[in-house]
Amino acid sequence: MQSAPLPETLANLLGLDPNSTAVMIVLSLVGAGLIGTLMMTNTALAGPWAKRKITAAFTDRIAVDRIGPYGLFIIVADAVRLLSKELIVPEGADRPAWDLAPLIIASTALLGFAVIPMGNGIHLADPEVGLAYVFAVASTTSIGLVMAGYASNNKYSFLGGLRAVAQNLAYEIPLILTGASVVIFAGSLQMSEIVAAQQQSLIGPLPSWYAFVNPFAFVLFMIANLAEVGRNPFDIPEAPTEIVAGYQTEYSSVYFVLIYLGEFIHIFLGGAIIATIFLGGPAGPVLPGIVWFLIKIWGVFLFTQWARSAVPRVRIDQLIEIGWKGMLVLSLANLLLTAVIVGVTV
Amino acid sequence: MSLEKPSRDTALDVGVTEDGLDYDALADLLGGHILDREEHLNAEGFVIRPDEVQEVLSTLKEEAGFDHCACVTAQEYDDRYESIYHLRKYNDPTQELSIVVPSPKDNPHNESAARVYDTADWHEREAYDLVGIDYDDHPDLRRILLPETWQGHPLSQDYNQDQPQIVSLREHANPLEDDKRSEDDPDTMFVNIGPHHPATHGVLHVETVLDGEQIADLEPDIGYLHRCEEQMCQQGTYRHQIMPYPDRWDYISAGILNEWAYARAAEDLADIEVPEYAQVIRTMAAEMCRIASHELALATFALDVFGDFTAVFQYGIRDREIVQNLLEDLTGQRLMFNYLRLGGVAWDLPEPREEYFEKIRDFLDDLPHKLEEIHDLVTGNEIFQMRCVDTGVLSPEQVKQYGATGPVARGSGVDYDIRRDDPYGYYDELDWNVVTEQGGDNFSRVLVRLREVEESARIIEQCVDLLEQWPEDDREIQANVPRTLRPDPDKEIYRSVEGAKGELGIYIRSDGTDKPARFKIRSPCFSNLQTLPEMSQGEYIPDMIASLGSLDIVLGEVDR
């Protein structure tokens, strides 16, 4: 599965010199563009179309089916609709923080994909600290949420921003601790190493994906991930029936699109991390790696939509309690246990 | 829990006899306070001095057991103003008493009852707002339905309808500016929840002071959907023109229940006997409305707790849709039925009857399975229980103080259901139970509604059996009612039915014409909504939203 990162592959493909810095910079940008476009395409499919179809399936409805096959062209219609709306700037908004927030929310999530191995050589960079980098950039989204919250000059936004930070603080630590337990297994933070470590067989045809090796950590990570991306039962930063739309209350038009886009990319990034460290990355039989990888992240997306349709929302104090008293303790226990097991067996 | 009436506290039974209240005994209890005694159709009215209201009412409440101030009706006569306090008992609402308080024409004011019954607070504010009576010693006498800047009192006789009303936005400029509550305490924040907010179920404005995420103070501000329903009813003729209006009070599928409230009051006023066959049809249709209404209440409550238009909401709507179709087959309408007539119903069951009965039976057969599904998805869910158990708690005492009725009262263990306690229609001939829960929290109120759906299904099933076997030559759907109905002058009546949200009462005073002289609606949502501050103070915003959802208010009925 080990393959050279994307810029080198591109250089070889185009017959350029992989040792020239200028060539590599240009090709890195090209590669980043390709991966960014791939993920945004997925988001475009997920946001206006798949989300509607999935929710409709959960609730005995049909959803969009008028424009194009299976209503797919609603994506185009929605893009035109959303981009042509008036951008309303609230009085007293703190600019440029108010303008920067959507950009930060959308871009930070996108940055994380740089180190994710997607199979078939689609892997922009493979630094040794890959996993730490992903968590780091994913966490910076919180800054965007706070900025959006306070800069909107709206009390609902303010409450939503505060909720978002409290929630991200409470759930990122268990998330990272659980991720660290995988690092103990794999013995590396490098994404390609983590993927490679999951390729042996565990029992018979069952691969040694960490979801099978340590299902407990997998479950913890899935739950913490739900909180991280703010989906039921942890969608309290937005909580439409309580605080209207939280930090995104005052955003309209393009800014709204950016925030929404950021949220969906974040869900996909969460899916990508889960796929990489628990589900063997792009590994899978018959189909090419990139297809398996996309299937896995869409699987995680489906899970978040399922939770959204069927599970009630917890209250803010209950959320914090679950985070600090439950998840944190469990993830620490998981980390210790993993360390002990790995220490004894290796 | 059953059709057996709860046992009575005998110590408070002044004047209770086998065949109704002995008003002489009550009069003895009040002694010299009574100036005069009037005969109302539902109860006797004791006329008292305007400055002795509190004394009389607390005596009646504490010594005679009148713990339910159902309604306060205010009206203006040619020579005086008058407030009527309709008192009843929670353990037997057939024991009624009206306290009539006249006040002078030139300076109408009388003592407030809000210190005795908390529910009188809003009722008297409404009386002040619409009729113009001042209530002394009222804790907070402001306008309630109309804007603060309104000039005049629309239901008083000298009200000038042509006077332009200027509702300046300036008056509502920035609620923070004159918000003393948050100035005193720099740690609190004032938030307007509504009138446009996803969780207010219409145009309700909740002025909220937050301490962090917790509710420090809260006040519902109503009146955004005030459509002068009482006045419109006063301008319509009894026979035909009033009946369409009740559909528009609780407009989300409880139409027939509302129509029945008017039908019951007006039929008793004009002494009309409804044929039994029509009563069975009414009972069946009313219970269908109750199912539709409770399904929607569950759906919107789930919407508040789950967050989005999710599965539970859609399931609730899906099940309600079937009832809606049945009602459409029966009445020709889906929401604004206008199906009841004074003395009967508009038309017989749809032909072919067998097909219609088949449809109803199909629905009833599927219902247990669907409720099971809802229980699996909603009430069985641990997170849902975490959210709803022990939040928004309302004690039985608070229920009675605020005059809360319907599922809200029964969720707090107050065994009060007009259908059983003050029977009308065909209810006392059928076998069904009154559902109560003891918790008093949001969860109990949801459970009560879900189990009431089962009971309503039982009632419908029995009605279908009856209608199926009804002899063909005896299907009388309408009594003989004169084309123009003119009840005798100066008759007064307060009659209530068990609406979807609770006790829906109508007070009518006739003046010998074909239109009522005073038409007062006692809306259950209006009284129930008053409990919101009690339930939510000190709780988190999400719990307040859940409590609001569990009250199941319809602003059309609150504001009228």
* B536 in Cβ contact with B211 (< 8 Å): no
CB contact under 8 A, B310 and A159: no
Q: Is residue A42 part of a domain?
A: no
In chain A, what residues touch B386 (CB-CB under 8 Å)? Answer: 314-315, 318
Token output for A254: 């393009």
pTM of the predicted structure, to 2 decimals: 0.85
Facing A315 at nearest CB: one of B191, B310, B387: B387
Q: Is residue A39 part of a domain?
A: no
Q: How far is CA B156 from the centre of its chain?
A: 24
Q: Is residue A83 part of a domain?
A: no
What is the number of structural domains in chain A? 1
Domain residue extents for chain B: 10-136, 229-559
- Angle (CA) B100-B106-B111 rounded to 5° is 40
Question: Residue B540 pLDDT more than 70?
Answer: yes
CB contact under 8 A, B315 and A311: no
Strands (E) across chain A are located at: 201-203, 206-207
- Minimal C-alpha gap between A110 and chain B (Å): 27
- Minimal C-alpha gap between A164 and chain B (Å): 13
Facing A312 at nearest CB: one of B213, B309, B387: B387
Q: How far is CA A11 from the centre of its chain?
A: 29
CB contact under 8 A, A60 and B314: yes
CB contact under 8 A, A241 and B189: no
The predicted structure's pLDDT at residue B456 = 92
pLDDT digits 0-9 by tens, A66-76: 888 888 888 88
The predicted structure's pLDDT at residue A2 = 43
Report percent pLDDT > 70 for chain B: 94
- Minimal C-alpha gap between B196 and chain A (Å): 10
The predicted structure's pLDDT at residue B176 = 52
Facing B304 at nearest CB: one of A159, A235, A241: A241
**What DSSP assignment string belongs to B347-414?**
S-PPSSHHHHHHHHHHHHHHHHHHHHHHIIIIIT-HHHHHHHTTSS---HHHHHHTT--THHHHHTT-
In chain A, what residues touch B213 (CB-CB under 8 Å)? Answer: 159, 316-317
Facing A244 at nearest CB: one of B189, B198, B377: B198
Question: Residue B183 pLDDT more than 80?
Answer: no
The confidence band for A1, taking pLDDT boundaries of 50, 70 and 90, is very low
In chain A, what residues touch B317 (CB-CB under 8 Å)? Answer: none
Give yes or no for A317 touching B (CB within 8 A): yes
- Of B347, B293, B353, the C-alpha closest to B339 is B347
Kindly report the backbone phi and psi dihedral angles of residue B3, in degrees, each rounded to the nearest multiple of 5, phi listed first: -80, -10
Facing A240 at nearest CB: one of B307, B314, B377: B307
The confidence band for B482, taking pLDDT boundaries of 50, 70 and 90, is confident
Range from A118-122, B11-15, B244-248, B508-512 carrying the lowest mean pLDDT: B11-15
Q: For residues B40 and B47, give the distance between their C-alpha atoms in angstroms, rounded to a whole number.
A: 12
CB atoms within 10 A of CB A172: 18
DSSP H or E run through B188 = strand B188-193
Q: Is residue A187 part of a domain?
A: yes
Give yes or no for A325 touching B (CB within 8 A): no
pLDDT digits 0-9 by tens, A15-71: 777 777 787 788 888 888 888 888 888 888 888 888 888 888 888 888 888 888 888
Facing A59 at nearest CB: one of B213, B311, B545: B311
The confidence band for B448, taking pLDDT boundaries of 50, 70 and 90, is very high
Q: Is residue A246 part of a domain?
A: yes
CB contact under 8 A, A315 and B543: yes
Question: Residue B111 pLDDT more than 50?
Answer: yes
Q: For residues B128 and B142, give the distance between their C-alpha atoms in angstroms, rounded to a whole number.
A: 8
In chain A, what residues touch B306 (CB-CB under 8 Å)? Answer: 232, 311-313
* A30 in Cβ contact with A10 (< 8 Å): yes
Kindly report the backbone phi and psi dihedral angles of residue B505, in degrees, each rounded to the nearest multiple of 5, phi listed first: -115, 150
Count of alpha carbons within 13 angstroms of residue A258, beta-carbon side = 21
Its domain, for residue A294, covers: 91-345
Q: Which has more pLDDT, B196 or A255?
A: A255
- Of A160, A52, A123, A105, the C-alpha closest to A276 is A123
Can you tell me the mean pLDDT for B405-432?
88
Question: Residue B273 pLDDT more than 70?
Answer: yes
In chain A, what residues touch B545 (CB-CB under 8 Å)? Answer: 241-242
Phi and psi based region of residue B150 (left: phi greater than 0; alpha: psi -120 to 50; beta: remaining): beta
Interface of A with B in 189-228 (CB under 8 A): none
Q: Which residues of B touch A (CB under 8 A)?
A: 189, 191, 197-199, 213, 302-311, 313-315, 318, 377, 381, 383-384, 386-387, 540-543, 545
Q: For residues B266 and B237, give the distance between their C-alpha atoms in angstroms, rounded to a whole number.
A: 11
In chain B, what residues touch A159 (CB-CB under 8 Å)? Answer: 213, 541
Q: Is residue A63 part of a domain?
A: no
Q: For residues A155 and A147, give the distance between their C-alpha atoms in angstroms, rounded to a whole number.
A: 13
In chain B, what residues touch A310 (CB-CB under 8 Å)? Answer: 310-311, 377
Kindly identify which residue of chain B lies nearest to residue A313, measuring between CA atoms: B306
- Minimal C-alpha gap between B148 and chain A (Å): 25
Fold of B229-559: Cytochrome-c3 Hydrogenase; chain B (1.10.645)
Please determine, looking at this structure, whether the domain spanning B10-136 carries the CATH number 3.30.460.80.
yes
Question: Residue B387 pLDDT more than 60?
Answer: yes
pLDDT digits 0-9 by tens, B49-82: 888 888 888 888 888 888 888 889 998 888 889 8
pLDDT digits 0-9 by tens, B309-341: 677 888 888 888 899 999 999 998 888 888 988
Collapsing DSSP states into helix, strand and coil, what is residue B534?
helix
In chain B, what residues touch A60 (CB-CB under 8 Å)? Answer: 314-315, 318
ipTM: 0.78
Can you tell me the mean pLDDT for B394-413?
90
Q: Is residue A244 part of a domain?
A: yes
pLDDT digits 0-9 by tens, A154-180: 888 888 888 888 888 888 888 888 988
The confidence band for A188, taking pLDDT boundaries of 50, 70 and 90, is confident
DSSP H or E run through A339 = helix A328-345
Facing A315 at nearest CB: one of B199, B303, B540: B540
CB contact under 8 A, A311 and B304: no
- Minimal C-alpha gap between B284 and chain A (Å): 29
Q: For residues B470 and B415, give the distance between their C-alpha atoms in angstroms, rounded to a whole number.
A: 33
Per-residue DSSP letter, A322: I
A51-56: Cβ within 8 A, 24+ apart: A51/A305, A54/A302, A54/A305, A54/A309, A55/A305, A55/A308, A55/A309, A55/B310
Phi and psi based region of residue B111 (left: phi greater than 0; alpha: psi -120 to 50; beta: remaining): beta
Range from B261-275, B299-313, B338-352 carrying the lowest mean pLDDT: B299-313
Facing A314 at nearest CB: one of B189, B302, B387: B387
* B238 in Cβ contact with B516 (< 8 Å): yes
pLDDT digits 0-9 by tens, B125-174: 999 988 888 888 888 888 888 887 888 888 888 888 888 877 766 555 55
The predicted structure's pLDDT at residue B363 = 92
For all residues of chain B together, what is the average pLDDT?
85
Q: For residues B6 and A231, give the distance between their C-alpha atoms in angstroms, rounded to a whole number.
A: 47
CB contact under 8 A, B305 and A312: yes
Give yes or no for A21 touching B (CB within 8 A): no
Facing A61 at nearest CB: one of B191, B314, B542: B314
